[in-house]
Structures are given as structure tokens and as C-alpha cells.
Structure 1
Amino acid sequence: MNETTTQKLTLYERLGKKEGITALVDDIVEAHMKNPIVKPRFQPYREQADNLKQIKEHTVDFFCAGTGGLEQYTGRDMLAAHKGMNISEQEFIAVLDDILHVLDQHGVDEESRKDVLAIAYSLKDNIIRV
């Protein structure tokens, strides 16, 4: 994909629309479950298939809606979803690292990775230590 093409497509399209975003979310969640820094927060969901499925669906819809897709996100806002979790800066960075690593594994271009990172950072104050 050349620079002109990248600029014309929405981030949603560049991430592969809902199908591509679903594959990304599956791999990101798996990466979180293996990451020693955030594994304790994610690992319990392995035994809660319905909750894990719902979390993934909400995350896919959140990514889709936030990147230009037509999907509607009906989950809680970021502040409500993370309230009381006392997420540290280190955990936030570990999650971002997992996301960027998965985007790279999926061959997502640098500009799109930067856009995803910018979106994630814009949510930081609603996630860390709330």
C-alpha cells in the first residue's frame, strides 16, 4: 500500500475492516494472556468463555467504531470499564506493546500503527489509576 492509498483509506479499512480487526483483537488478547505484566488480569478469562467472548466482541466493536467503521459500540465507556482496576503506567505500556507487536505481526503499515497508538494514548487518562 503506498502513501497516497493509505491516506485515502480510513483506519478501519487499513486494519482490514471488521474481519481484520477481529483477527487483531483475538491475537492481542492472546498476547495479553502471555505477557507477564498483564497476564494476571487477563488469564482468569480463559476459564470464563462467555465473558471472554463478550470482552472480545466489545473490543472489536470499539475498534471498529473508533477507526471509521459502521459498527456500533454499546459497551461501557473507558472510564467506567476501568474504574477501580488501579491500572499502572507499566501495565498500560505493556498493553500498548502487545498491540503494536500484533499489528506488526499482521503486517499493518507504520502510519496505521501510529494512528492506533495515538488513539490508545488519547484514552490513557480514562484507564490508568482510575
Structure 2
Amino acid sequence: MADESLFDRLGGFYGIAGAVDVLVDRLYSNASANANPAVDKFHTEGGHAGFKFLVTAWSIEETGGPKCYPGRDMRESHAHLNVSEQDFDTVRLEIAATLSYVGVPKQEHDEFMAIIDSYRDMVVDPDKRIAAE
């Protein structure tokens, strides 16, 4: 098991797709996540099922599964959303809560959250970053 990828330890395609199914439903109904007008517009006008597919494919690749993500890189795909630090933290919290809700063990939870954290600088709008103290 020590040599298994995070992808395998999260249950492969089915485990990741199941978690993303829960996550995206939670994000679409989260008032705080939709407080950003650009995100709210995306959730209102964008395809719910398509977003689930993209998040699932991205998660599969990022955790060591096969290359299957057809979307844009994180910087490009979030540039028009004007994501603030608070917006990122809201989604981050929802991801963490979803991982707990679906029963992801602590080690895998922490590894996946480290992946999420590594994307903060690519997702948060440079004009909305909080300077490190």
C-alpha cells in the first residue's frame, strides 16, 4: 500500500468521482462560495455536469491517475473569476469538509489538501492577494 498512488488510495475513478459529485453540489449551493459575482455567474450559466467532469478529471491527474484532464491550466481557468483569498479559503474549507464527509483517511486528506494549497497562487487574483506578514 505504501507504493500506491494517492489516486489508488482515494478509490481510483469511482472514489474520486463520488467525492467530486458531493463537492460540486455543495459548492453550487454554498452561499459564501457564490458571494463572488463572477463565480455565481459561472455557477448559474455554466454546466453543472461539465464542471463535475472537469474537477473529476483534474483530481484524477493530480493524484497520480491517468492523464485525462482536457481543461485549461488553473491560472487561465480562474483569471476571469477575480478570486480573493477569502474565496479560495471558502472553497478550500468545502473541499476539506467534503473529504471528511465521504470518509477520506487523514493521510490522504492531508495529501490532497496539500495539492489544493499548492494552487493558491495560481487561482487567487494577484490584486487580491494578502501580503505575507
> Retained in 2: the 8 A contact 1:32–1:95?
yes
Distance (Å, rounded) in 1 between the aligned partners of 2:41 and 2:94: 15
The alignment status of 1:18 with 2:13, answered yes or no, reads yes
Q: Give the superposition deviation at 1:39.
A: 2.6
State TM-score, norm by structure 2.
0.83
Distance (Å, rounded) in 2 between the aligned partners of 1:125 and 1:23: 27
* Residue of structure 2 in register with 1:59 after alignment: 55
Structure 2 counterparts to residues 27-66 of structure 1, below 5 A: 27-40=22-35, 41-42=39-40, 45=43, 51-66=47-62
CA change 1:127–1:44 in 2 (3 A) is closer
Q: Give the superposition deviation at 1:33.
A: 2.0
> Retained in 2: the 8 A contact 1:28–1:102?
yes
The percentage of aligned residue pairs carrying the same residue is: 28
Structure 2 counterparts to residues 1-130 of structure 1, below 5 A: 5=1, 7-40=2-35, 41-42=39-40, 45=43, 51-129=47-125
CA-based RMSD of the aligned residues comes to 1.8
Aligned residues: 123
2:18 counterpart letter in structure 1: A
> Retained in 2: the 8 A contact 1:32–1:42?
no
SS of the residue corresponding to residue 15 of structure 2 reads helix
> Retained in 2: the 8 A contact 1:61–1:72?
yes
> Retained in 2: the 8 A contact 1:17–1:64?
yes
Q: Give the superposition deviation at 1:96.
A: 0.8
Distance (Å, rounded) in 2 between the aligned partners of 1:95 and 1:110: 19
- Structure 1 unaligned blocks of 5 or more: none
